């Protein structure tokens, strides 16, 4: 009788540990947001130009799951970097950029250039981002790291300082 009770208690304990271990081992820890499999800063070129975001959930069980179509995306003007090539404040989405619920980012009117070339030599551009949009993805209470998107859908500034014509073709960003 005692062996049966001890065996049952051990079986119940083992079952409880197993169930608790399984339930706790599949918790969403982080979301990695990328474009083309990479993080960082990207360039959205031309009106109608697109970039496809990918959201990957990283779970405590070390498994990953594609969450691209189930996360909630947020796109805002980068609070630390929010002007166009002329120094004007970037317009908030859905102006200039739109973002679908499947993670497709699209450049729309009004066009904008968020790149500046401060090089005085028109033959040797040195592109820097004057402003960008910040995008995150959220699911199950977890928010991804941001990715940053510069936009090159309008002509660039022909003069970085208002005097020197260093960009006579009015290019916008690296090609």
* CATH value at residue 79: 2.60.40
What pTM value is reported for the model?
0.82
Residue in the block written with tokens 């540990």: 17
Domain membership flag for residue 145: yes
Write out the residue range of the structural domain in which residue 38 sits: 27-152
Query: Residue 170: inside a domain, yes or no?
Result: no
What average pLDDT does this structure show over 115-142? 95
Report how many domains make up the chain. 1
pLDDT top residue among 39 and 150: 150
Q: Quick check: is 167 in a domain? A: no
In a domain, 19, yes or no: no
Cα R_g (the chain), whole angstroms:
24
Give the residue-averaged pLDDT of 9-23.
Answer: 47
CB burial of residue 119 (10 Å; 0-12, 13-18, 19+): middle
Identify whether 4 is part of a domain.
Answer: no
How large is the average pLDDT for residues 115-125?
A: 93
Q: Is residue 22 part of a domain?
A: no
Q: What is the pLDDT of residue 34?
A: 95
Residues in the chain: 175
- Kindly state whether residue 68 falls inside one of the protein's structural domains: yes
Mean pLDDT score of the chain? 89
């Amino acid at each position: 009788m005692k062996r049966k009770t001890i065996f049952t208690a051990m079986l119940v304990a083992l079952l409880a540990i197993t169930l608790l271990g399984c339930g706790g081992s599949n918790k969403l820890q982080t979301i990695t947001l990328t474009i083309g499999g990479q993080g960082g800063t990207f360039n959205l070129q031309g009106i109608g130009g697109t970039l496809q975001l990918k959201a990957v959930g990283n779970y405590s069980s070390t498994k990953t799951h594609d969450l691209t179509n189930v996360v909630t995306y947020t796109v805002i003007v980068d609070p630390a970097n929010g002007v166009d090539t002329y120094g004007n404040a970037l317009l908030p989405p859905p102006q200039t950029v739109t973002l679908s619920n499947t993670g497709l980012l699209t450049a729309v009117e009004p066009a904008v250039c968020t790149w500046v070339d401060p090089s005085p030599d028109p033959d040797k551009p040195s592109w820097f981002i004057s402003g960008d949009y910040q995008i995150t993805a959220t699911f199950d209470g977890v928010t991804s790291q941001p990715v940053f998107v510069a936009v090159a859908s309008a002509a660039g500034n022909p003069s970085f300082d208002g005097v020197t014509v260093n960009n006579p073709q009015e290019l916008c960003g690296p090609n």
